[in-house]
A and B are shown apart, each in its own frame.
Chain A
Amino acid sequence: MLGTGIIQGLATTAKNFAGSFRDPRRFVTVQYPEEKAPVTENYRNFPFLVSDDARDPMGTLRCVACRICEKECPPQCIYIVPDVDERGKPRKHPRVFDLDISVCMSCQICVEVCPFDAIKMDQDFELAATDRFRGLLLDKHQLAKSNDYYRQIHPAEAAEVDARLAAEKRQAEEKARAAAAAKAAPPPPTA
């Protein structure tokens, strides 16, 4: 009969109305500044620079200022000036590393091209600033975050990177030891 659907609908909304008083868990709203919805592991927004030691972030930056990311960045939001010593020789460290997050499009290409696993994607989204020029241009001090932080936000990815870096380090050490051994040992007799 006409009207039964309307009554069913009214019953549903009445149930919602009464239920919302009895069971606050029905609310889907997350009261944002006080509570936050959890972000998923694969969420990413802007890059950050990985440092190995949180106590000395500038000294342990993995970045060697090779400028590959700067060249590959599609919107060109990265600006790097390599550090040089007094004789003008590069010191494998960025003197300036600026990243304009108002330009960055979160494509992750910088992360993919970096040979040193020095730049990774962050999950911090509370980046509102009152100055849209200086406030959104992050320098290397703001960008530097520890490897522990990386492990925290992307555990699976960080474990893989850590394993790879450890393997590379072991290989390098073995190679160095082999080279040292080769140097120390007498040259093989030439037949």
Chain B
Amino acid sequence: MTPALPAESWLERVPLTVRDLVTGLFPAPWRWLAGSVLAILAVVLGFGLLFTLLTLVERKALGRMQNRPGPNRTGPFGLLQPIADGIKLLVKEDIVPFAADRPLHFLAPVVLVAFTLLTFAVIPYGRHLLPVDLDAAVLFFFAAGAATELAVFMAGWSSHNKYSLLAAMRALAQLISYELPLLLAVVPEVMRAGSLSTAAIVAAQGRWTLGILPHWSVATPGGAAAFLIFMTAALAESNRSPFDLPEAESELIAGHLTEYSGFKYALFFLAEYLGMTALCAMAVTLFLGGWQAPCVFLQFVPSYVWFFLKLAALLALLIWIRGTLPRLRLDQLMRLSWKFLVPLALINLGTVAFWQLSAGWEPLPARAARWAVALLLVLGPFVALGQRLGAGVGPRRYRYAPA
């Protein structure tokens, strides 16, 4: 399927070499365990580091978008800010409300972080960097991701606080509403690759036209639509602006985090960023070709570098969106999901089915017709549904004030 691969460079094989070096220290029957522990350590440390970096980059970038310098006091250019924040959170008093359900209150952040970390197991970070190669990896990813909703409600319920409970209910409504478009946007990729395995999905995107145009699914009309729907839903799933309703200071204080402080709060914070990173990594895997290089001649760059470059680009996009869009109201949030994203995602299934069935249309006019029909199928519903979504919405008019 793939064109003859150039001989793999030693850089590409570095992860394998390191694994063999470390597992070689153990007796043969224990090597599989050592390998797994090594993978877990790499994921936890690597993404923990990425999390600290991400908080700093986000604050600096948001600052510049709002014409502020951002944190610049701790160390050179504020580079030590994440460490200062971490120390502050760790030495804070850990308060548990008197009326709280103690075991649940303690378990909520633990469950949240645990399930979020589980999702990292099935993401192919590079050609040889897939911690667990499951047949149903996509299913596993979204099952583990959906389990974090349980932790959110655990936190809200166990805090025994009206704000926490109301916010948890609201968060749950949001998360479940957006679970639907998220999953519906994934189905086209499964259809395309014919497999639920992330490795197979990435491999299916590893072709190029003329050696420079990658066959990433985002380059097809249906794939682009699915990518946009997926990213919108991912924003809502990770409680990011403009869907950061669960933490509405003016209405619900800090939402389900109201009664958390110190290290437990830090865990929630960590889980939120890890969840966002995991969803972005999944978007890279599904739509942006995973670790595949964009052009054939760029394949000398190790695959994991490509993966993390794409991941960084998506994370930057999320920060950019956060710096731009104001928060939605709850009813607008629900309407966007149920009346816009879900129908679009359902129609998109048909578009991708058409695209797959018409894959054999080889002559040029047939191929042009294929593109035209697919684009129409994507843009038509988008414009039509978009008009209905925005109907009756405009600048506010005042009856008595002069215009």
- Is A26 an interface position by the 8 A CB rule? yes
Q: Are B61 and A17 in contact (CB under 8 A)?
A: yes
User: A22 → chain B, closest Cβ, in Å?
Assistant: 11
Q: A20-B67, A27-B68 are in contact. Are A10 and B321 (CB under 8 A)?
A: yes
The residues of A that contact B64 with a CB separation of less than 8 Å are 16-17, 20-21
0/1 string, A1-44, CB within 8 A of B gives 1 = 11100100110111011011100001111000000000000000
Contact B320–A10 (Cβ < 8 Å): yes
A6 and B382 contact, CB distance less than 8 A: no
- Bound-state CA distance A20–B64 (Å) is 6
Which residues of A sit under 8 angstroms from B61, Cβ to Cβ?
17
Write out, one digit per residue, whether chain B residues 35-66 have a CB within 8 A of any chain A CB (1) or not (0).
00000000000000000000000000100111
B325 lies within 8 A of chain A by Cβ: yes
Which B residues between 247 and 266 are near A, CB-CB below 8 angstroms?
A: none
* Chain B residue at minimal CB-CB distance from A23: B67
Q: A1-B383, A17-B61 are in contact. Are A28 and B324 (CB under 8 A)?
A: no
Per the bound structure, the CA–CA distance linking A25 and B63 in Å amounts to: 14
* Distance to closest chain A CB from B66 (angstroms): 7
What chain A residues lie within 8 Å of B86 (beta carbons)?
A: none
Q: Is the CB of A16 within 8 A of B67?
A: yes
Give the distance in Å from the alpha carbon of A10 to the alpha carbon of B385 in the complex.
Answer: 22
CB interface residues, B 333-391, toward A, < 8 Å: 382-383, 385-387, 389-390
B383 touches A13 (CB 8 A): no
A9 to B325, CA, bound (A): 7
- Give the distance in Å from the alpha carbon of A56 to the alpha carbon of B68 in the complex: 46
B323 at the interface (CB under 8 A from A): yes
B324 and A10 form a contact (CB under 8 A): yes
Contacts of A28 in B (CB 8 A): 67-68
A3:B67 contact, CB within 8 angstroms: no
A25 to chain B, nearest CB (A): 10
On whether the beta carbons of B323 and A13 are closer than 8 Å, the reply is: yes
Closest to A2 in B: B386
**Residues in chain B near residue A3, CB distance under 8 A:** 386
With contact pairs A2-B386, A2-B387, A2-B389 given, residues A14 and B69 touching in the complex (Cβ less than 8 Å): no
Is the contact region of chain A dominated by helix, strand, or loop, or is it mixed?
helix
Q: How far is the CB of B231 from chain A (nearest CB, A)?
A: 12
Judge whether A29 and B68 touch: CB under 8 Å: yes
Q: Which of B293-347 contact A (CB under 8 A)?
A: 320-321, 323-325
In the complex formed, the residue of B with least CB distance to A8 is B324
Quick one: given A2-B389, A3-B386, A21-B64, are A27 and B69 in contact (CB under 8 Å)? yes
Query: Given the complex of chains A and B, what is the CA–CA distance between A62 and B55 in angstroms?
Result: 58
Contacts of B386 in A (CB 8 A): 1-3
Nearest residue (CB) in B for A21 is B64
Distance, CA A20 to CA B68, complexed state (A): 8
Per DSSP, are chain B's interface residues mostly helix, strand or loop, or mixed? Answer: helix
Instruction: Give the shortest distance, in Å, between A175 (CB) and chain B (any CB).
Output: 61
Contacts A1-B386, A17-B61 given: A6-B68 contact, CB under 8 Å? no
Q: Closest CB-CB distance, B399 to chain A, in whole Å?
A: 26
A2 to B339, CA, bound (A): 14
Given contacts A2-B389, A27-B67, A27-B68, contact A13 B320 (CB under 8 A): yes
**Residues of the B chain whose Cβ atoms lie less than 8 Å from the Cβ of A2:** 382-383, 385-387, 389-390
Do the beta carbons of B390 and A6 come within 8 Å of each other? no
CA distance A16 to B386 in the complex (A): 28
How many Å lie between the Cα of A19 and that of B65 in the bound state? 9
Known contacts A2-B383, A2-B390, A10-B320, A16 near B66 by CB under 8 Å: yes
Residues of B within 8 A of A10 (CB): 320-321, 324
Instruction: Report B58-84 CB contacts with A as 1/0, cut-off 8 Å.
Output: 000100111111000000000000000
The listed residue with most A CB atoms (<10 A of its CB), out of B67, B325, B390, is: B67
Task: Give the residue among B61, B68, B383 with the most A Cβ atoms within 10 A.
Answer: B68
Chain A residue numbers with a CB within 8 Å of B389 are: 2
Q: Is the CB of A14 within 8 A of B66?
A: no
Give Cα A1–Cα B382 distance, bound, in whole angstroms: 9
Q: Which residue of A lies closest to B389 (CB)?
A: A2
Q: Are B65 and A17 in contact, with the CB atoms below 8 A?
A: yes
- State A3–B382 Cα separation when bound (angstroms): 10
- Please state if A6 and B325 are interface contacts (CB–CB under 8 Å): yes
| Minimum C-beta distance from B230 to chain A (A) | 16
Question: A2–B387 Cα gap in the complex (Å)?
Answer: 7
Q: Which residue of B lies closest to A19 (CB)?
A: B67
| Nearest-CB residue, chain A, relative to B322 | A13
- Name the CB-closest residue of B to A24: B69
Q: B328 CB to closest chain A CB, in angstroms?
A: 12
Chain A contacts for B65, CB-based, 8 A: 13-14, 16-17
Contact, CB under 8 Å: B67 / A12: no
Indicate the member of B68, B324, B383, B390 with the most A CB atoms within 10 Å: B324
Which A residues have a C-beta under 8 Å from some C-beta of B?
Answer: 1-3, 6, 9-10, 12-14, 16-17, 19-21, 26-29
The 3 A-B residue pairs with the shortest CB-CB distance, nearest first, are A2-B386, A20-B64, A13-B65
15 contacts between A and B (CB under 8 A): A1-B383, A2-B385, A2-B386, A3-B386, A6-B324, A6-B325, A9-B325, A13-B320, A14-B65, A16-B66, A20-B67, A27-B69, A28-B68, A29-B68, A29-B69
- A26-B67, A29-B68 known; 17 new pairs, CB 8 Å cut-off, are A1-B383, A1-B386, A2-B382, A2-B383, A2-B389, A6-B324, A9-B325, A10-B320, A12-B324, A13-B324, A14-B320, A16-B65, A16-B66, A17-B64, A17-B320, A20-B69, A21-B64
